[in-house]
């Protein structure tokens, strides 16, 4: 099942959200949406065996009302009440009247288990009784109500036992923990049920096709190569020749009018490799609107960065260049670390970054006064002003050598074309993931495949054949 969200940006709000309609009406909408999603997930309702894990409060009430709907349609529905004295009264009454059974323990096997244990107000992992119950159902597919129980909804952290859902049916708006890893990994497919809520300002956004289409730099009818922008690349070394060539590949995807490549050494073999792959690229110094620095730069990173900063134009820093940054750069900048690189920049262990990705990326954005593009399964673009966008497109096959070099070049091209650093980072990450999905076709791919697919991805986005 794909997300039912229909507006452009996926907007994630911190809990709680504000209701614009009475609670009873909201629960009815939520439960109806949950029951519909469960029916689609099951493929059939009549004769299906369903288990509800019901905690206290409205989350359990949603599960009970949805279970009642399925029971009326011929499903066999059991419910285990984890807090019998605090089960939602209306939901429990409706469930029993529909023929649902309250049981002390699962009587499996079941076709699906519905996680209605805790909702958005909970903190920390599952309590021992709930954790034991969930563990006993290993092998049974889970559908989570609003959020998988045990994740941290507002930060994306996971601290302790939690539900791993195959499907999460969320209500009103996406929550931060549904988009930001590691919590997002526990959510499976996310399906949004609209409730008509008055929502607070989003703290995380995920660009969708309409957003990217609106931000993509498209040439004016009278454009020429210089008005479209020139991006410069200072990357690669004799030790890492391919990184420089791949970074140029990401920059030379047609999003700017020209690409310049400046090798670390006058006689560098990287320049020959770049020209062989990209005869359109100009090798040598010249005016640019943005620089990309660091991919495979090795010992030349510091000098390449110094030379780029001397021009006073926006910069993208990747790989080796990240290791020489210890303060704000004084120009608009995008930093593109993976978790290990960000850990070194912050002086912490990699495990800390992986467990608390949003907080660490925010800290780095503030410390270095730069947009931080934290590369991961769900890549985060974090602006120093607090804005956050998460990229959720891109297949697992994108975890391949050289993909980050391509991404750095692509972001640099968007900077040179005139996008602000936050937009260049988030749009570049989205195009990178979408191009990988197009190039992959469900199978393996390599970094050059991603670069070659960017023009086709843009053409599809713009509605061209």
Residue 52 included in any domain: yes
Whether residue 255 is found in the same domain as residue 185:
no
pLDDT computed for residue 17 by the predictor = 46
C-alpha radius of gyration, the chain, whole number: 25
What pTM was estimated for this model as a whole?
0.91
Whether residue 198 is found in the same domain as residue 221:
no
Whether residue 193 is found in the same domain as residue 294:
no
139-161 tens-digit pLDDT: 999 999 999 999 999 999 999 99
* Among 206, 227, 259, residue at a domain's last position: 206
Give per-10-residue mean pLDDT for the chain (465 aa): 38 51 76 96 97 93 97 98 94 96 95 94 88 96 97 94 97 93 96 83 91 95 94 92 94 97 80 91 95 94 96 97 96 98 98 97 98 97 97 95 97 98 98 97 96 97 77
Name which of 299, 327, 291, 306 is nearest 411 in CA terms.
291
* Distance between CA atoms of residues 134 and 142, nearest Å: 9
* Among 206, 227, 262, residue at a domain's last position: 206
Whether residue 456 is found in the same domain as residue 324:
yes
Identify the residue whose tokens are 């429990």.
92
pLDDT computed for residue 5 by the predictor = 32
Whether residue 217 is found in the same domain as residue 197:
no
Residue 214 included in any domain: yes
Residue 365 included in any domain: yes
Whether residue 341 is found in the same domain as residue 355:
yes
Which residues make beta-bridge pairs with 290? 231
Helix (H), strand (E) counts: the chain: 15, 19
Maximum CA extent, the chain:
82
Whether residue 149 is found in the same domain as residue 291:
no
Domain count of the chain?
2
Whether residue 149 is found in the same domain as residue 255:
no
* Among 140, 174, 206, residue at a domain's last position: 206
Residue 113 is classified by DSSP as: E
pLDDT computed for residue 2 by the predictor = 29
Residue 346 · residue 324 · CB < 8 Å? no
pLDDT computed for residue 122 by the predictor = 75
Residue 4 included in any domain: no
Whether residue 76 is found in the same domain as residue 16:
yes
- Domain of residue 374: give its range: 210-461
pLDDT computed for residue 23 by the predictor = 58
Whether residue 127 is found in the same domain as residue 219:
no
**4 cis-preceded (ω within 30 degrees of 0):** no
Whether residue 168 is found in the same domain as residue 215:
no
Which residues make beta-bridge pairs with 372? 335, 382
Whether residue 101 is found in the same domain as residue 119:
yes
Residue 429 included in any domain: yes
pLDDT computed for residue 238 by the predictor = 84
First to last CA, the chain: 28
């Amino acid at each position: 099942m794909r997300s039912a969200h229909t507006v452009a940006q996926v907007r994630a709000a911190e809990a709680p959200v504000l209701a614009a309609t009475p609670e009873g009406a909201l629960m009815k909408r939520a439960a109806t949406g949950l029951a519909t999603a469960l029916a689609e997930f099951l493929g059939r309702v009549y004769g299906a065996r369903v288990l509800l894990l019901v905690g206290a409060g409205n989350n359990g009430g949603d599960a009970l009302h949805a279970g009642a709907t399925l029971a009326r349609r011929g499903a066999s529905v059991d419910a285990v009440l984890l807090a019998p004295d605090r089960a939602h009264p209306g939901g429990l009454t409706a469930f029993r009247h529909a023929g649902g059974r309250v049981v002390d323990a699962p009587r499996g096997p079941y076709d699906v288990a519905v996680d209605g244990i805790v909702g958005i107000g909970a903190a920390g992992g599952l309590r021992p009784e709930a954790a034991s119950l969930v563990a006993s159902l290993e092998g049974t597919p889970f559908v989570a109500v609003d959020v998988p129980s045990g994740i941290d909804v507002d930060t994306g952290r996971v601290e302790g036992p939690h539900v791993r859902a195959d499907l999460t049916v969320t209500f009103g708006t996406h929550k931060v923990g549904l988009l930001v890893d590691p919590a997002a990994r526990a959510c499976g497919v996310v399906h949004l049920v609209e409730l008509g809520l008055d929502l607070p300002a989003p703290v995380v956004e995920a660009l969708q096709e309409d957003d990217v289409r609106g931000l993509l730099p498209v040439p004016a009818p009278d454009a020429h190569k210089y008005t479209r922008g020139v991006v410069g690349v200072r990357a690669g070394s004799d030790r890492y020749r391919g990184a420089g060539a791949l970074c140029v590949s990401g920059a030379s995807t047609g999003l700017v009018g020209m690409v310049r490549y400046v090798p670390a050494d006058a006689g560098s073999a990287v320049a020959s490799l770049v020209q062989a792959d990209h005869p359109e690229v100009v090798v040598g110094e010249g005016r640019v609107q943005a620089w990309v620095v660091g991919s495979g730069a090795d010992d030349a990173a510091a000098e390449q960065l110094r030379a780029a900063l001397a021009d006073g134009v926006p910069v993208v820093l990747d790989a080796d260049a990240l290791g020489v940054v210890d303060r704000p750069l004084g120009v608009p900048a995008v930093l593109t670390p993976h978790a290990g690189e960000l850990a070194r920049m912050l002086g912490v262990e990699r495990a800390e970054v992986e467990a608390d990705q949003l907080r660490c990326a925010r800290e780095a954005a503030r410390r270095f006064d730069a947009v931080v593009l934290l590369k991961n399964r769900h890549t985060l673009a974090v602006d120093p002003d607090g804005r956050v966008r998460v990229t959720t497109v891109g297949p697992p096959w994108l975890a391949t050598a050289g993909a980050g070099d391509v991404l750095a070049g692509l972001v640099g091209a968007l900077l040179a074309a005139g996008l602000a650093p936050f937009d260049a980072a988030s749009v570049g990450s989205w195009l990178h993931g979408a191009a990988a999905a197009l190039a992959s076709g469900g199978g393996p791919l390599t970094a050059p495949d991603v670069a070659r697919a960017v023009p086709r991805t843009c053409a599809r986005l713009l509605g061209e054949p």
